[in-house]
Every structure is written in structure tokens, then in C-alpha cells.
Amino acid sequence: MRQSGPIKPVSRAAFPAGLVLILIPCGSAWAAPLNYLLGHGDKAYPVVALTWGVLLISIAVIAIISLLVAGAIWRRPGIGVQAPGTRVELSDREGGAIWIWVGVGISSVVLLASVVWTMRVLADVTSPSTPAALTIEVTGRQWWWQVRYLSNDPARIFTTANEIHIPTGVPVAFRLIGGDVIHSFWVPALSGKTDTIPGQINETWMEAAKPGTYRGQCTEYCGIEHAHMGLVVVAQAPAQFRAWYDHQLQSPAPVAGAQAQGQADFNMHCGSCHAVRGTEAAGVLGPDLSHLMSRKTIAAATLANTPDNLTRWISDPQGVKPGALMQRPELSAPELAGIRTYLETLN
Amino acid sequence: MSSSAISTKLPVGAIDTRATGWWAMIFVVFTEGSLFAYLLFSYYYLAVQPHLPGTFPQGGTPSLTLALPDTIILLLSSVAVAWAQFHIERNDKRYLVWGLGIAAILGMIFVVIQYFEWSGKPFTLASSPYSSLYFTVTGFHMAHVVVGVCMLWALFAWSAMGYFNRIRYAHIHIGALYWHFVDAVWLFVFFTFYITPLLGLK
Amino acid sequence: MSIAEYERAPVVAPADQQGLAARLLRIWKTEPGIGGWIATTDHKEIGLRYIVTAFAFLIAGGVEALIFRLQLAGPNLHLLTPEQYDQLFTTHGMTMIFLYAGPILSGFSNYLWPLILGARDMALPRLNALSYWIYLCAGIFLYAAFACGFGPNDGWFNYVPYAARAYNGGPNIDFYALGIILLGMSTTVGSINFVVTFLRLRAPGMSLNRIPILAWGTVTASAANIFAIPAVSLAFFLLWMDRNAGTHFFDVPAGGQPLLWQHLFWMFGHPWVYAIVLPAMGMVSDGLPVFCRRPLVGYTAVALGTVATMVLGFGVWVHHMFATGLPNVSLSFFSAASIIIAVPSAVAVFAWIATIWTGRPVFTTAFLFFASFIVLFTIGGVSGFMTGSLPVDWQLTDTYFVVAHIHYVLIGINVFPVAGAIYFWFPKFTGRLLDERLGRWNFWTMFVGFNLGFFPMHISGLLGMPRRVYTYADGMGWDWLNLITTFGSFVFAVGVLLLIINVVSSLRRGAIAGPNPWDAPTLEWSVSSPPPPYNFAVIPTVGSRHPLWEGRVPPQEGDSKSHVEGGMALDHGRETVGTTPLDAEPRIILKMPTDSYAPVLLSLALTAFFAGLGLHIWWLAIVGIVGAGLDILGWLWPEASLGETAEPANV
């Protein structure tokens, strides 16, 4: 009767090796912009706690079951592989049903407690404790986010794209609209995700506790450039937020000289899809560019908003986001440079 | 141990509800019934969504002028099949054949009347969600009726050729189960499309 | 005609009676040659075909994954275009979930059921052949589209509106839809066959509480499929209509509803994921105890837990839709149900642990796969538990955390038991043992590779990595995790390769197994390896859950002695005995059909019908459907040899 052979020492090494392999990347990954294990705001905190709670319960269950399985296997000397047909003695132990009752009993208590905790967190995060100070309408489109700030005063309604600013310390409500296919609006640090579905209006809310920049991402497969449909939420102290808001309401300053040619080219080649407030360009198929240079990113958070990236994006959109609905304009390099110069005035 | 017969005799072959085919048909009924359950779920799902008055049902509550007689014809065809089965259980092959033939003809009349009802509708398949549902659901049912009619004619022919007697008629039993199922499903479809608007679901 | 002319008292004979085996062989054997190969209705041949075909799809789906794992090994790579990536990840999902996971278990069940239940064949042998041929045709249909560059590209779950013609103009989605509808017919007829067999064809004495858990798992899955498959077939049909006939089921501008697709799809989809694991869990419940040298602990609890899991599985589908904005009141019901459904699974986990704990483990490769499966099951189960909590799921859903979960449950609860089942039952199928030393290498490579590949996905998911992305930016914190995952997946693939190598080389050079190499307790180990075409020379009678261990384990209350050495001979043609559903008392002698071309011809006709619809070649569709009708007419034509007509002779 052979012993268990190479199993014991290999599995003894496996656990610590596995742990090291997991912890190294974990440690380096904590700065992940889309992680939600650290939340920032009243909607996030209860969910972060619950997430950690169920995560730790899960890890504990895995550890306990693994130990039980390992214990069951190695508590007595095992039998090696026998010649085919050998009559091998059966175990003399009977019973064992107690395992099921105790195991299921404990599991049921833990599961029930989890249900109760889940429902309590749900009650906390369904709606904010104070009414929302601001409502923003977000429309998911292939592959960018149309953002419209709503207000009771029609003069204070404006449209922007891909970058959302919110004031800290107050709940902000969102109305989510499906523009074409189903997308999902997600800013992990601040809130769970909610889909934008054509034909219905979904609602969500979030609240930022302190100023900061928070990454978002579309999280419902929506076609070829789903991977490049991010967004940015910038939380600002109320005074800075008001200043930003007022600036967004203004039309960009008129241009002259070299930039006027750029503007003319822009209106002709880009104005059918893009809008710039107070100018001829009034297209609604693509993002509003009125204050493009006030944004940290372009192409739905695919590229940082730098001059080189901007040139790259407008001269070769298919190279940056193959399949994007923006086509390469039929323009020479100097003409494109002129458009870029004009865009750089859109602060 | 030497050969010996066991004391109990067992029937051999496909005998009424002990026939394997009958058990299989029960589950065919379950799966096809589920299909209609999901079709009707789709109707109710779309019916409760917000819509403009008069769009669901499109063209107002569907008229019962053709549908109600058609329903009765289908019910009568089930009666004919049951009557046919009643007779083969008493080894009367003549009325078996008659019953199946009448049922098949009534089934065909059902199809023809429904075709006329379809042509008289003020909408087509592609007009609206309601019209899409109407033609798809009644169309699925119609397809099941057509299959059933072909089956009834086959049973008619086999009966006429003398294949069955009062002990061996599993095919009749199985076919009758399918036909009664088609009939029962129609009652649910009929209720959903023609009665629920009268009860306020519109 | 009196009823007496249609009855017979079956002769009881010893299994080794002279001439009986030869007579039965003549009656049951498949004709040699290509005709016999095509027309066979032998469940063992059909089962092996299912297993081989499913493995071919496993390899295809695996290669697809390896390719896109290379694309994802680092940030901003350009090995694949987004279009290629989208077709690859969709086809990978479609292949694994539809063309591998269900059929592999159908294959094992097909082969094993008559043997473990004590019958000569499945209840409906020609329908059995039909289910295989349709599966093969549907798989080829779907892959033909992929090979021509028209593979589906909207994920295996195919949400509208992206799947609608307005956004997906090519024929990709049409072929996917029609292929899945065709495949659904295979699964449905196969499921009907299993349920009828379970109710009617068990050996005399095999009451409900003596049935191997594999049969419980498969019958539960089959019963569920009967009710669930029409939902997905309907969803795809309605989509095909929207795309080709101008209907408006899902078309939002006209008042259609995208969520209708999701409801119909997941009303099928959730039961389906239980259907593709419960039979595998049953294989573990039957195989693990053999290598613990004792019967399964808590048989009744495990059997009931299997059924309970499936029933509850019909009530949780909305947990795939938690982010869709449905009212929280209804979502919370589904969240609670999705957490509570873990309870019957816990029953099985503790039953398995208790069986090992109170048993004497035998360290065969099969045991390694079965025992490690318990840990993988637990990991998959707890990640599911986490996603069941609604507010947590609002963060986890559509991230790689869910990808980790689905692979732990699919690979952990389907592939690992299948691998164990191969080591366990390969000797029965082929008469030879797999190599145990290579088996160890196989197991460890698969185990280490799998965990290395998929465990990091939990972490990248918690760090926000979304699903279904063809690339990702650097600086997101996912680079190392993806590299490890890619590496691990290749190690896992090597493990699968070792399994295949072991199988291929052992077919010729494996040690001879004999009828019962593992000294196992159930009926299949009482016949030769491989079994003769007729399975049992005489129908066994069953008195306990472990007929071959009687006298060596303490008997349960109500047990009696099983008999495999003698029983009903039933050699007047192809016959087996039909028994009552609860207590398996003999009721009827069932005449079984001989081999037939009708199943393969019907499959071809149905495929022609769907090909005609897909290619818009309407005459082909008409030929297909008419051909199908004629085939069915011929198939169902009353036959005297099957006891369907008024012929009194006891054939």
C-alpha cells in the first residue's frame, strides 16, 4: 500500500507560492483608478463596507473548506493506486451526516445575515438623505457620453461631453438616457453602475465627499469601441464648481486672424457633427466642443488632452479608436494644424 | 439457476399510457406549452409598458366575429378526436376513421377562417409591436395546427389501413394528446388577445 | 383480440446461459460499415460521439481564448482588431456554453445511464441519435458562419439594440440566432429522452432512493431544459423576425422593449447554467465515494439538494439584470433568492467532505480531480454569493470579477469533474486504464494553470477592469494581473493537452482494465469493459444503492439483495423492461427500434431549412421543412416489430 507520493510536499508549497503571486500584483495595483474597494462619498461608504464584508466572508469560507478538504484527505494514510480489479477494503466508518447539518446550518446563518445586511445597505443607498442639489442628464452614445446640466432656469442649461463636474458635499442626481444601444454609466469610486437603456430613463445619484478626479467607464458591451468609452468626474468645492459652471455657460471668445481660418475649416468639416456655442457649428451627432480645452481628456477618456494627442485624434481617429464614428477629414496637415489651433482657443 | 418463466405476464409493445411515445409526448406538451407561455409573457410584458391609447391593441379590441366561431370549431375538432378514441377503445374502427377525418377537416376549416381573419386586419406584421405579436403568436399556433392536421390525416390513413385495434392504438392516444394540447393552448391565446382587452388590458 | 395475445411472461435466465450472449449480440449489434455507423442507435456510440465532438469544441473555444488572451497580455496591444476580438470572445462564449458544456454532460449521461440504471438502451434510441446529429449539424452551421467571417460579435448573450439590424447590419447575428434555435431542438429532444428514461427504464427494484446521483443530476437538468429552452429559442426567433421581417419586438423607436430580450434570454440562461453543472456534480457524487471506499454521505439530502437548486434556479434570472434600472423592490427579491440558493449547494459540499473524512482515500488521478473540485466549487460559489448582494453587484457586475466567477463555476464545476470522470470511466468505455503517472502531471498542470489563470481575475475585477474590452490603458493597475492570467491560461491549455495525450496513447497502450478495475459498487461495473452492445445479458434486479458492495457495507432499511447473475433475458428481438416511476416494478416489455437513417436525414432536412432561412434561399427552406415532415412521417409509421400495430404475435 503506497503512500500519497508527491502530493503532500507540492501542495505544501502551493499555498504560500500562490499567496506571494497574488500579493505582488495586488500591492502594485492599489492605485487603480477604477477600483471600488475605497469609496468616496455617502453612496459609496455603505457599499464599500458591505463589499469588504462579503469578500472577507468569502475568503474565510474558502480557507475553511480548503482546510477541511485537506484535513479529510490527509488525516489517515491514504491508499495508492491498486492493480485493476483488486478488492480494496471499504472504510469501516459510518455516519457523517452530522457534517451536512452543521455545515448547512452555519452556512444558512451566514447567508441570512448577508441578506439582512444587503437589504439595509440597499435602503441606505437607494436615495440620498437630502434632496439632490443638481440633476445631470447623461446620454450614452457609441462611444462617448453626452452630458446635459439641467436647471429650472432655462438660461442655465448647457451641454458638454465626457467630463462631468459636481460639487462636493451634496447629492447629485443623474437621469440616464439610452442614445442608441445599451451602455452602462459607472464611476466606481462614487457609485455602483446603472445602464442607459433606449426607451426608458434610469435614475441614479452620487455624492463626492471631497474634491478629486474620479475615473468612470462604460460597463455594458456596446460595440466595437466599448473598451474606449471612459469618462471623468471632477468633484470641486462648491465655489470652484460654481465658477466652472458659469464659465461653461459662456460662449467661447470670438477668434480672429489665423485661428479664424481654422474656425472656418472646422465649421465646414466638423460642424455637422460637433457644436461650439455661439458659432455656426451646431451638430449634435458628436460631443459638444465649446469648452474642449477645459477637459482633462479627449476621445472619451482615451487620451490625455495634450496638443500632440489632439492632433493625433483629429488627424487619425481610426488609428486611436478603430471603428469610431468620426472619420478622418479630407484635409492637409496644415489645415488640420489650423483646426487644432482653433480648438485650442476653446477654453 | 435454470431457465424459468416468472409468474407475472407483462404486456408487450406500445400499449396506451404505457407506451414510451405517450410519455415523450407529455414532455413535448410541456416544452411547447412553455413556448406559448413565453410568447404570452411577451404579450403581457409589452402590454403593460406605457403606450399611446389605441396602439395596443392596434386598431382597437380585436373583433370576435370570426375568432369566436373559430374557437368553437377547434373545440369541436377535439370532441371529434375524443369521440374517435372512445370508439377504438371499443374496437369500433369505422367510427375511429370517421372521427379522425372530421377532426382533420374541422382543423382545416379553422386554418382557413383564421387566414381570412388575418387578411381582414387593419395592420401587417411590421406595423407595430402589437401587430408583430398578433401575427407571431397566432402564427405559431397556426403552425402547430397545421402540423396537427397533417398528423390527423396520417392517423386517418393508418386507421383506414386497419393498423389499430382496441389494445394497440398508441398512435391515436398520442396524437389525441397533441391535438387536445393545441386546442387548450388556443384557449389561452384567445383569452389573451381577445378577452383581456375587454377586461381593461389595453 | 384478447389482451392475453399481447402479453408474455418473460423468461428468467442466468446471465451466463449458453447461447444467450451470442443471440443478444446478433440482435443488438450495429451493422459494420459506414451505413451502420450512420444509422446506429446504440447509446454508447452516441455518447462517445457527443464526448468527442464536445471536446473538439472545447479545444476550438480554448484556442479562441488563448488568442485573445495574447491580445490582453499587456496594455494597448494590437495583435487583434476590435472586430476580430469581438467575434473571438463571442464565439468563445457561444462554443463553451452551448457547444461544449451541455453536450459533454449529455455524452457522459448518454453512455452511462442505461448501464447505471440497468437497462438495455435509452427509452427513445432513435431520438437519441437525432439529438446528436442535430447537435453536430448546428455546431457546424455556427462554425461555418464564423469561418466565413460572419461569426457572432455581440457577446454570447447578444443584447439588443446592438444585435438589431440597425447596429449590426451583416448576417452574423442571423446565423447565430438560427444556429442556436436549431441547437435547442437537439437539447430539447435529448432532455425528453432523459426524463422518460428516468421514469420508465430503470431496472426492477431501483426505486427513487437507489438511483445514482448522476441520474438525479441529469434528469433535473433535463426537466429544467424542457421548460427553459423555449425561452431562448423564442428570443432568438423574435430577434430574427425583427432583423428580417420588420417586426418590432425589441425596436425602441416603434415601441419595442430591449429588456424583453434580457428577460427571455435569462429566463433560459440562468436555469441553463445549473443544467451544465448539476450532472457534473452528480458524476462527482458517484465517483468520489468509490475512491473513499464508502457510499456517499447524505444521499437523500444530496438528491433533494440537486432538485432544490434547479427549482430555485428558475427564480433568480433577474440577477443578470441588476444594473438595468428595474424597481429595487423586485431586484431585492431576486438578490435574496440569489444568496439563499447557495444553501442546497452547501448540502453537497459538506456531503462530499464528510464522505472523504469518514472514508479511506485512494489517491488515483480521478480522486485528485474530484477532491480538488470541491475547493474550486467553493471559490466559484462564494464569488457568486458576492455578486448576489445587490449593492455589491452594482460594482462587480460587468467587471472581470464576474469573469472569474463564471470560469470557476464552469471550469471548476464542469471541466474538472469531466476530467475526473474520464479517468474514472475511460476503463469502462475502452477496456483500458489511463496512465496514472501522466495523470498526475495532467492534474497538477490543469490545477495550477487554472488557478494561476483565473484567480487574478477576481483581483483585476475588484480593481475595476471591465469585461469584453479588446484592450486597456496602462496605468489602470491591471497589467501584471493580465500577464499572469495569460500565462496561467497557457499552462492550463498544456494540462488539457496532457489529458488528450493520455487518452490517445492509452487507447492502444493502456493497461487492460477488466470489468471492475476500481472495485466500484454500481451496475455498470458488473458488465465487461467495454460493455457488449446489449449492456446486460439479463436485466438485473436492484436491492440497494450499491449492488456490488452488498455484504460489505451495512444495509439501509428496506434494502434487499440485488441480482446481476440472473434475471429477465428478454431476447425476442430488441427489448428491455419498462418499470413504474417510483418503485421500479416491472410493467411492460418495451420493444426497441433497430438502427435507422431517419435521425440523420431529419437533421439534414432541419439544417437545410435553417440554412435556407439564413441565406435567404427560400426554396432550400421549403425543401428542408417538407423533407423534415416526410422523414417524421416515415419515422413514426406504425411498426409491427415495435408492437405498435394490431399484430397479436409476440415478436
A99 vs C353, C374, C478: nearest CB: C353
Owning domain of residue C331? 36-509
Question: Is B52 within the bounds of a domain?
Answer: no
Task: Give the pLDDT band of residue A9 (cuts 50, 70, 90).
Answer: very low
Query: Span A134-249: which CATH code?
Result: 2.60.40.420
Contact residues, chain B, for C651 at CB < 8 Å = 12
Nearest to C561, CA basis, from C572, C551, C570, C576: C551
Could you say which residues from 61 to 120 on chain A have a Cβ atom under 8 Å away from some Cβ of chain C?
A: 61-62, 65-66, 68-69, 71-73, 75-76, 78-82, 84-91, 93-100, 102-104, 107-108, 111-112, 114-115, 117-119
d(CA C188, CA C225): 7
Q: Which CATH architecture has domain A258-343?
A: Sandwich (2.60)
Please tell me the pTM assigned to this model. 0.96
CA distance C120 to C577: 9
Which residue, among A267, A232, A238, has the nearest Cα to A338 in the 3D structure?
A267
Task: Band the pLDDT of A5: cuts 50, 70, 90.
Answer: very low
Q: What are the boundaries of each domain within chain A?
A: 134-249, 258-343
Q: State the Cα angle at C277 between C363 and C179, rounded to 5°.
A: 130
Average pLDDT over chain A reads 91
Mean residue pLDDT across chain C:
96
Question: Has residue C4 got a pLDDT over 80?
Answer: no
Q: For residue C474, count CB atoms less than 10 angstroms from its CB and return exposed for 0-12, middle for 13-18, buried for 19 or more.
A: exposed
CB-side exposure of A292: number of CA atoms within 13 Å?
24
Q: Is residue A192 scored above 80 in pLDDT?
A: yes
Between CA C39 and CA C35 the distance in angstroms is 6
Query: What average pLDDT does the segment B24-48 reach?
Result: 97
Work out the pLDDT band at B2, boundaries 50, 70, 90: very low
**Among B49, C458, B201, C536, which Cα is nearest to A29's?**
C458
Q: What is the pLDDT of residue A15?
A: 60
Task: State the Cα–Cα distance between residues B143 and B141, nearest whole angstrom.
Answer: 5
pLDDT in tens, B49-70: 998 888 999 998 999 999 999 9
Contact C10 B31 (CB under 8 A): no
Cβ A47 vs Cβ C392: under 8 Å? yes
pLDDT at res. A31: 75
Shortest Cα–Cα distance, C391 to chain B (Å): 26
Which residues on adjacent β-strands are paired with residue C553?
C550
- Domain of residue B117 covers 66-202
Residue B26 lies in a domain: no
Q: Has residue C60 been placed in a domain? A: yes
The answer to whether the CB atoms of A181 and C378 lie below 8 A apart is no
What cell does A91 get?
472504510
Assess whether the region A134-249 and the region A258-343 belong to the same CATH fold: yes
Is the pLDDT score of C578 beyond 80? yes
Judge whether B51 lies within some domain: no
Check pLDDT > 70 for residue A283. yes
Tens of pLDDT, residue by residue over C409-438, are 999 999 999 999 999 999 999 999 999 999
DSSP A71-121: HHHHSS--B-PPPTT--PPPP-----HHHHHHHHHHHHHHHHHHHHHHHHH
Q: What is the CATH number of the domain that holds C224?
A: 1.20.210.10
pLDDT tier at A247, thresholds 50, 70, 90: very high
> Mind listing the pLDDT tens digit for each residue in C583-598?
999 999 999 999 999 9
**Chain A CA closest to residue C382:** A58
pLDDT at A3: 42
Local confidence band at C345 (pLDDT 50, 70, 90 cut-offs)? very high
Average pLDDT (C363-380) is 98
Q: Which of B4, B9, B171 sits opposite C638 (nearest CB)?
A: B171
Report the residue of chain A nearest C390, measured CA to CA. Answer: A118
Residue C442 lies in a domain: yes
Q: What is the pLDDT of residue C648?
A: 74
pLDDT of residue C270 exceeding 70, the answer is yes
The whole-number pLDDT of residue B6 equals: 61
Question: How many structural domains are present in chain C?
Answer: 1
8 Å CB contact of C227 and B171: no
User: Does residue C397 belong to the interface with chain B, where contact is any CB pair within 8 Å?
Assistant: no
The pLDDT, as a whole number, for residue C406 is 98
C561 in B contact zone (CB under 8 Å): no
List the CATH number of the domain containing B114. 1.20.120.80
pLDDT at A19 over 70: no
Is the predicted pLDDT of residue B42 greater than 70, yes or no? yes
CA distance C172 to B47: 31
Q: Is the pLDDT of residue B17 over 80?
A: no
To the nearest whole Å, the CA of B28 is away from the closest chain C CA by 7
- Tens-place pLDDT, residues B110-169: 999 999 999 999 999 999 999 999 999 999 999 999 999 999 999 999 999 999 999 999
Indicate whether C341 belongs to any domain: yes
On whether the CB atoms of residues C458 and C404 are closer than 8 A, the answer is yes
Q: What is the pLDDT of residues A32-69, one digit of tens each?
A: 999 999 888 999 999 999 999 999 999 999 999 999 99
Residue A20 is predicted with a pLDDT of 60
Are B126 and C245 in contact (CB < 8 Å)? yes
Q: Give mean pLDDT, residues C168-183.
A: 97
For residues C641 and C591, is the Cβ–Cβ distance under 8 A? yes
Return the percentage of chain C with pLDDT > 70, whole number: 99
Question: The C-alpha cell of C55 is what?
Answer: 471536446
What residue of B is the nearest CA neighbor of C7?
A: B11
Sequence length of chain A is: 347
pLDDT of residue C100: 98
Chains that touch B (3 or more CB pairs under 8 A): C
Query: Number of folded domains in chain B?
Result: 1
Residue A259 pLDDT level (bands cut at 50, 70, 90): confident
Write the pLDDT tens digit of every residue in C62-103.
999 999 999 999 999 999 999 999 999 999 999 999 999 999
Chain C residues closer than 8 Å to B144 by CB: none
Whether C238 maps to a domain, the answer reads yes
Query: What are the pLDDT digits (tens) for B180-196?
Result: 999 999 999 999 999 99
Q: Is the pLDDT of residue B32 over 80?
A: yes
